[in-house]
Amino acid sequence: MCKTEIKRSNRSREQRSEAGSSQLSEFGAAIFLLFSCVVIPLFDLSVVPVRLGLGKSIVNNRVHQLAQSECLSDAFKALQEGDFHNGLTKIGGFTAKSTQLSLIATSVKNPDQTMIVDRPGALSSDWLPGGNKGPCLYRLDLTVDAEIEPLITAKVPGVQIPGLTRAIPFHLREESNWENMGCDPLSGEFFVNK
């Protein structure tokens, strides 16, 4: 090889390395923006639907168990005494703020008429089986106000953005048909109101 060919090849290497380094720095910045503005936030928020699905499953399972109680007072007692809140917090990033259990009686003849009670013994005699509003459909309704956190929350003072700087509030509501329509042979009370 002659000296002129060597000089040309050295110049072309210098030109390629300068152009290549600028392309690399531009590509690196684009990759950084892609990851910091798109990939990481999507990955961060992708855990929220998973936690929400697990929470809905636990609430649905619990209201179904409560609907199988012998009497309504047992269902209310089981909700207060059980480890329902512990099951929700075991999900991680799921915080139950409040829970409410109620019984909804709906008239089959007139579905627009309903009565909602939040304690045992509050159902009037018109709404009991064989009453004036009957026949009725009885459902237990369990509502949970919860907050679900993403994987990472940014701590920015004075800024409250759900999913970015604080947890996302959710309202979960599940229903299950009351199963024990019997009557207590000793007291004569219906189990749905006892």
- pLDDT, tens digit only, all 194 positions of the chain: 555 555 555 554 554 455 555 666 778 888 888 887 788 778 877 888 888 999 999 999 999 999 999 989 999 999 888 778 778 888 888 888 899 999 999 988 888 889 999 988 888 888 888 888 878 899 999 999 999 888 877 777 888 877 777 888 999 999 999 988 888 888 888 888 88
Of residues 52, 61, 132, 69, the one with CA closest to residue 103? 69
Answer whether residue 32 is part of any domain.
no
DSSP 80: H
- pLDDT value of residue 163: 76
The DSSP H or E segment spanning 32 is helix 3-34
Domain count, the chain: 1
Cα(138)–Cα(105) distance, rounded to whole angstroms? Answer: 5
Answer whether residue 135 is part of any domain.
yes
Answer whether residue 36 is part of any domain.
no
Domain of residue 107 covers: 46-177
Answer whether residue 190 is part of any domain.
no
Answer whether residue 4 is part of any domain.
no
- pLDDT value of residue 159: 80
Of residues 87, 86, 118, the one with CA closest to residue 105? 118
- pLDDT value of residue 16: 47
Answer whether residue 38 is part of any domain.
no
- pLDDT value of residue 143: 95
* pTM check: above 0.85: no
